[in-house]
Structure 1
Amino acid sequence: MSKHYSRSDRVAQQLQRDIAELIRAELDHPKASLITITDMEVTRDYSHAKVFYTFMGDAAETVEITAKLEQAKGFLRSELARGIKLFKMPELHFIYDHSIENGMHLDRLISEANQQHSDDE
């Protein structure tokens, strides 16, 4: 049985690949290569796109990267429009994805619980 993806899902996947490449190649920041686009959601009318990202750096660098992405979103949107022909290029909304940090925290808690369990035995 094959899965059926809506057109907005396919557009979101293509935009995600393209924006990841643009950020890596064009963003004027020395640590831009440490940004990972984890997901992208595009509204059905293509007016807005949520770009979920993570960054492997400390909290101060994450704030700096967030500001840089917000500053560059007009440029990124116009560059995306050159590569993909859509009736309307979505407005980009960058959202920091905490899922990796949350996963690392849970992993640490599980390891601590396992360590305590083995110490009790």
Structure 2
Amino acid sequence: MYRNQRIAYELKKQIAKILQHNLDDIRINKFSTITDIVISKDFTYAKIFIILSYKEEKLKKKKNSFFYLNKATEYIRYLLKEKIKLRKIPKIKFFLDSSFNKGKNINTILDNLKIKKI
């Protein structure tokens, strides 16, 4: 398990650098935050969870951002191959991390319960 965590951490760091410095597509937000990476046991697949910027969330551009981000995965894997020494670079797919919004909704519900109780 420890090796899996080290590889996930290194992938997270390198993919964040690639998104900021190597992708010149204006349809892809360079400042998306990678929150988590889940790698399969055999290191063939990786799910990357990201939070989009407030502007993209507000303008409902989520589908477009993820479409173009997932279209660039082969290029990102190519760049990862140069930066990380692994026998096999996992196939990557980006997903929206909605845990922040869910947490905010739960907080709102709890706050409303406190107000009604008082």
For normalisation by structure 2, the TM-score amounts to: 0.85
Percent identity for Structure 1 against Structure 2: 25
| Letter in structure 1 aligned against 2:65 | I
Bigger mean CA deviation after superposition, 105-114 or 27-36: 27-36
Aligned to 1:38: 35
- Look at both structures and tell me which one has the larger radius of gyration over its CA atoms: 1
Please report how far the alpha carbon of residue 52 of structure 1 lies from its aligned counterpart in structure 2 after TM superposition: 1.1
Residue deviations 1:40-91 (CA, integer Å, cap 9, x gap): 1122222111111111323621111111111111111111111001110100
Gaps of 5+ in 2: none
Once superposed, what is the RMSD of the aligned Cα atoms? Answer: 1.8
Please report how far the alpha carbon of residue 115 of structure 1 lies from its aligned counterpart in structure 2 after TM superposition: 2.6
For normalisation by structure 1, the TM-score amounts to: 0.83
Cα distance in 1 for residues equivalent to 2:84 and 2:40? 16
* Aligned partners of 2:27 and 2:68 also within 8 Å: no
Gaps of 5+ in 1: none
Moved over 4 A (4+): none
Label 1:107 to 1:29 Cα distance change in 2 as closer, same or farther (>3 A): farther
